[in-house]
C-alpha cells in the first residue's frame, strides 16, 4: 500500500496508548466524549492523554450531538486540533460549530445504502473532512466503534470536495483490501485494535498501521 495513507486511531484513553499510536505512525489520535461508549473519557483524562501526543499528530475529539456548552467545556481543558461530529448533526449545525469554535470539523456519516452516500455531498460542502462509517443498526447504543463494515463498493473511488476517511469494521486483516477497493487515502480504526472493548493494544495498533501503509512501518518488537 502507498506509504502516504493517513491513519486515525480513535478511542484512546491514556498517554501510553497515545504514545504507542504516534510511535507507530498514526496521523490522528481520537478521544471519545460519549457516555454510552466504553471508550468515553472525562475531560481531565482526555487532557492527560492529549498532551502526550507529539507535534504533527492531530488530536481529535469525537462528540455526538454536542451542545455548545459541552464543546466549551472540552475545549477549555483539552488541547485539540479537530472536532468530530458523530451524531445526527445537520449540515447547518456542522457549519455553525465550525464557525463558532474555529477548529476544523470532521463529520461522520453512517452508510448502509446508496441513499446514505448521497448525504455526503451536503456535508462535504460544510465540513473540513468526512468520516465515511458503517451505519449502526436501528436502536443500537453506539453511533460508531461497533466493529461492523459496510459494503465498500458503495464508495469505491468516489470523491468529495474535502478529504475523506474510511471507517467501520477495519482491522489489520482487511484494511489493505478496503483501501484497494475504495481508493481511500485515510482510515479510522477503534475496536479493530483492541484486546477488549475500550482497551487498545499497542501491537495491534502497529500491525494495523503496517497493513495500511506497507512494510516500511516498523514493528514494536
Q: Is residue 133 annotated as part of the catalytic site, yes or no? A: yes
Active site residue: 65, 68, 128, 133, which one? 133
Active site residue: 4, 10, 128, 171, which one? 10
**Cα separation, 14 vs 16, whole angstroms:** 6
Query: Which backbone phi and psi does 27 adopt, to 5 degrees?
Result: -90, -25
**Cα separation, 80 vs 46, whole angstroms:** 10
DSSP 172-209: TTTHHHHHHHH--SEEEESGGGEEETTEE-HHHHHHHH
Helix or strand run (H / E) with residue 122 = helix 119-124
Q: Is residue 188 annotated as part of the catalytic site, yes or no? A: no
Report the catalytic residues: 10, 133
Amino acid at each position: 500500500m502507498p506509504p502516504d495513507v493517513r491513519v486515525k486511531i480513535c478511542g484512546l484513553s491514556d498517554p501510553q496508548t497515545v504514545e504507542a499510536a504516534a510511535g507507530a505512525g498514526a496521523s490522528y489520535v481520537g478521544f471519545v466524549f460519549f457516555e454510552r461508549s466504553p471508550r468515553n473519557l472525562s475531560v481531565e483524562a482526555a487532557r492527560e492523554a492529549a498532551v502526550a501526543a507529539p507535534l504533527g499528530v492531530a488530536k481529535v475529539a469525537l462528540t455526538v450531538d454536542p451542545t455548545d456548552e459541552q464543546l466549551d467545556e472540552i475545549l477549555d481543558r483539552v488541547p485539540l486540533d479537530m472536532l468530530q461530529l458523530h451524531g445526527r448533526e445537520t449540515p447547518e449545525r456542522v457549519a455553525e460549530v465550525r464557525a463558532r469554535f474555529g477548529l476544523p470539523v470532521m463529520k461522520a456519516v453512517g452508510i448502509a445504502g446508496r441513499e446514505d452516500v448521497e448525504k455526503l455531498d451536503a456535508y462535504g460542502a460544510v465540513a473540513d473532512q468526512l468520516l465515511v462509517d458503517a451505519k449502526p443498526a436501528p436502536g443500537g447504543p453506539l453511533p460508531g466503534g461497533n466493529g461492523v463494515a459496510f459494503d465498500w463498493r458503495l464508495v469505491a473511488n468516489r470523491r468529495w470536495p474535502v478529504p475523506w476517511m474510511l471507517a467501520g469494521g477495519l482491522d489489520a486483516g482487511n484494511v489493505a483490501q478496503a483501501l484497494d477497493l475504495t481508493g481511500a487515502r485515510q482510515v479510522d480504526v477503534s475496536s479493530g485494535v483492541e484486546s477488549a472493548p475500550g482497551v487498545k493494544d499497542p501491537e495491534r495498533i502497529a500491525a494495523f498501521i503496517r497493513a495500511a501503509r506497507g512494510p516500511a512501518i516498523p514493528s514494536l518488537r
